[in-house]
Amino acid sequence: MSETFGPELEARLTRYCAVATESDERSSTTPSTAAQLDLQRLLALELEEMGAAAVSLTENGFVFATIPATVAGGQPPVVALLAHVDTVAGIGSGPVKPRVHHKYDGSPITFPDDALLVLMPELNPYLATKIGDDIITASGGTLLGADDKAGVAIIMTLARHLLAHPEIPHGELRICFTPDEEIGTGIRHIDLERLSADFAYTLDGGDVGEIVYETFSADKATVTITGISTHPGAAKGKLVNALTLAARIVAALPEAQRTPETTDKRQGFIHLYKQEGTAASARLHFILRDFELDGLAGHAQLLRSACETVQLGEPRAHISVEIAEQYRNMRYWLEQDMRPVELAVQALKELGIEPLSEPIRGGTDGSQLTAMGVPTPNLFTGMQNIHSPLEWVSVQDMEKAVQVLLRLAQLWARA
């Protein structure tokens, strides 16, 4: 049986990307923004219309559905497929306007809403390999949102195809669309009993062939500085400027301390991503990343030491450091049972796709889900230049992802 998925994937991705779904780390609700529910309602309705079973949208913004098994006898493992619906905040403003560049000819891609933006194959080697593909971008005023609506479109296309072709042998599949992945909080609220899966995959990766089973381990650090405010005209000997102390803390980090812009491969880092405050009080927000727990603990100790040094120099201030766990390297659990990785590699090879298993300098919902007891490696979608107005994706790459999932579903039925 042969079916072309390209037109469906193009229609789904452009439709889903047009729905604004930014998450908000300042929010205390789940989902963090009501806008995410707009897309989740649409997805739940489409799943019902295509005949999926047990479709539900939970109060905290998760969509669940089931594709019933078509194999008779035996009980193959239940496999879940997940993608997140939220997009990262703070990249442009206004409505997302997807644009499709059919049969890309290799020339620079310009953006009507920002004349300064140009997507050039000379600076994007992967794009240079996609001559003749259908490339989807936004219009320049916002990011596209293929992270992770490409994953959503791929899973929805697979679900529609399997439900329309019950002759394809597969076990029971669970579908789950999650909120708030970009702020690292959504998956913590997943109902594992409702998911009820033995293994899972997130569709949240990049280049064709990517199968990720090693991620960063991650912590978040917040440094709070309380100074003493007074009128600047009479401040001598009285003012303790929290902003000045914040600058000293950053400067006190060792010169050899690595930051995101100076590291790659397996190097970890400390990243100051936000600072706020006044002379009276200030906060520094850091993320700490490393592939190994010892390295992660070392980053935390460096930050604490910098704060202690500044505190000793100004005892009238109060400086505190809070470190919160975000996620852990999924390798710690997956290396104990590599079946989901091995079957994904087999599916790729059977389709003539070279597996790529580089560790990723980030994390996915699968990082936390794996730690919860559901081994969840991450598969490619084709998305490129994520978190940028230059974001793009090839429809043909997405089509390959659907084909891999089809093969995987059949391999799991024999597992």
Active site residues: 86, 181
Q: What is the torsional sign of CA 11, 16, 20, 24?
A: negative
Structure tokens at 184: 């690292």
Q: Which residues lie across from 137 on neighbouring strands?
A: 99, 392
Structure tokens at 347: 């599916």
Distance CA 66, CA 174 (A): 5
